[in-house]
Amino acid sequence: AKARGRSRHEFHSESLSERARERLALEADLRRAIAEGQFELHYQPKVGLGDAHIVGAEALLRWKHPERGMVPPDRFIPVAEDCGLIVPIGTWVLQQACAAAAAWNRERPAGDPLRIAINLSPRQFMNHDLVQTVRDALDASACRPEWIELEITERLLLDERNQAEDILNGLRALGLTLAIDDFGTGYSALGYLTRYPIGTLKIDKSFMRDITTRPDRAGIVRAIILMGHSLKLGLVAEGVETEEQAAFLREQGCELAQGWLYGRPMPPQAFGEHVAARITP
């Protein structure tokens, strides 16, 4: 029994160091990825629930690794956050997304702009230059602030160690809007909704899955929509995959949606064509 115990222990520590090695390898590869142009930003349409009119898109990071192929963001973003690389990667994302937003909006009729949503990691708020970084990204491509929405998480607002409040006020003062991503997961404190300059709630996709079959799930979504409206916040439902889900959300008065029903994340050129196909008769 003793021998078996030891071998099990050895097996365990071997698999641990295996994992540590794998992680270091991923980190080393991440360091090269920006310089070698391995990142791409894809864009997933965001639409009005009433008429499916495209109002914008969320920019989602893709990593095309030369040997591993497509590495999903849930795999590499946590690593990039831990080692701090999310800061330069996040700056690249801001520059790309602002340039894309400016290019698309220059071709659009005034009064019907596309708003591009960009994900920010809490780590990016730990350096005071974030407001300047965002301003530079807007200036570099003559992107108007109204064309950009920044998505942040509840985690950021509830961690008192960062200077989130000043930075968020600074970002809002630039003229951009702020959205809370994955709303309804993890935390229950709601006081921050009135403390910070938040404009939009993105209802987490985990609620959509059984919205039409589970009354408790439907109840949560209904409550979030009611609360959002009474606080004068915009609402976006994430992860909308079926017409039944869309119908429920429409009925509850949710304005905007995002999900496979309306389009998968796609490369910039494909998104441009997707939008053009919808506006030209």
- Binder of Ca ion out of 29, 149, 154, 182 (CB under 5 A): 182
Q: Which does 93 bind (CB under 5 to 8 A by kind): Ca ion, ligand C2E, none?
A: ligand C2E
End-to-end CA distance of the chain: 75
| Residue 74 engages ligand C2E in binding (rule: CB under 6 A) | yes
Q: Give the single-character DSSP code of 72.
A: P
Applying CB under 6 A, which part among 24-32, 85-93, 172-180, 226-234 lies near ligand C2E?
85-93
Please give the structure tokens belonging to residue 277.
């196909």
Quick one: what does residue 56 bind among Ca ion, ligand C2E, none, with the CB cut-off 5 to 8 Å set by partner type?
Answer: none
Task: Kindly indicate which of the ranges 26-34, 74-82, 83-91, 181-189 contains the residues binding Ca ion, using the contact rule CB under 5 A.
Answer: 181-189
Is residue 263 within 8 Å of 56, Cβ to Cβ? no
Q: Determine contact, residues 201/191, Cβ cutoff 8 Å.
A: no
- List the alpha helices (DSSP H) in the chain: 2-33, 73-83, 86-106, 130-140, 154-158, 164-174, 192-195, 215-230, 243-251, 268-279
Name the minimum Å distance from CB 16 to ligand C2E: 25
Q: How many residues bind Ca ion (CB under 5 A)?
A: 5
> 3-state DSSP call for residue 239?
coil
Q: Is 181 in the site for ligand C2E (CB under 6 A)?
A: yes
What ranges in 84-174 are assigned the alpha helix state H? 86-106, 130-140, 154-158, 164-174
Task: Give which of Ca ion, ligand C2E, none residue 265 binds (C-beta under 5 to 8 Å, depending on kind).
Answer: ligand C2E
Q: Is 149 in the site for Ca ion (CB under 5 A)?
A: no
Residue among 116 and 143 whose Cβ is closer to Ca ion: 116
Residue 242 C-beta-side C-alpha neighbours within 13 Å: 9
The one of Ca ion, ligand C2E, none whose footprint includes residue 259, by CB under 5 to 8 A per kind, is ligand C2E
Count of residues making up the chain: 281
* Position 255 contacts Ca ion (CB under 5 A): no
In the complex with Ca ion, the residue whose CB is nearer, 144 or 155, is 155
CA-only gyration radius of the chain, Å: 21
Closest to Ca ion by CB, 29 vs 181, is 181
For residue 149, the partner it binds in Ca ion, ligand C2E, none, with Cβ less than 5 to 8 A by kind, is none
Distances in Å between the Cα of 158 and the Cα atoms of 126, 181, 185, 254, 279 are: 14, 14, 13, 26, 41
Place of tokens 């009925």: 251
Query: Is residue 259 part of the contact set for ligand C2E (CB under 6 A)?
Result: yes
CB atoms within 10 A of CB 38: 16
Q: Is 119 in the site for Ca ion (CB under 5 A)?
A: yes
Taking the complex as a whole, the smallest distance from the CB of residue 181 to Ca ion amounts, in Å, to 4
Q: Using CB under 5 A as the criterion, which residues of the chain lie in contact with Ca ion when the complex forms?
A: 119, 151, 181-182, 238
Q: Using CB under 6 A as the criterion, which residues of the chain lie in contact with ligand C2E when the complex forms?
A: 44, 60-61, 72-74, 77, 86, 90, 93, 119, 121, 181-182, 205, 239-241, 258-260, 265
